[in-house]
Structure 1
């Protein structure tokens, strides 16, 4: 099930790119929204990674 964690990390990277693009265009509201989305996906990635680790002691964490 590590594909779920990888998907969440993909979303983190996607929103990081959106944040950078908005910052380059000097759109502070868009930067704030992208930051929020990035944090949300990162929190989900950490949560699912921790849950997988608890359910399977062979699982190697992808998120630190």
Structure 2
């Protein structure tokens, strides 16, 4: 049986001590936290195109 320490439930400050997350819910919360942390990471950069598809094309052109 997983304990909160094993599942990482202790890492969520909004989680009550008596709540234990299922492994699936814990993975979902970790993914959401990682995406939120990365949000806006490249905001304001002027050395790359703003359009993601254009940026991919630029990267791929360097590989040829």
Verify same fold: TM over 0.5.
no
TM-score, normalising length: structure 1: 0.36
Higher RCO (Cα < 8 Å, 6 or more apart): 1
Which of the pair is proportionally richer in helix? 1
TM-score, normalising length: structure 2: 0.36
Tell me which structure has the larger Cα radius of gyration.
2
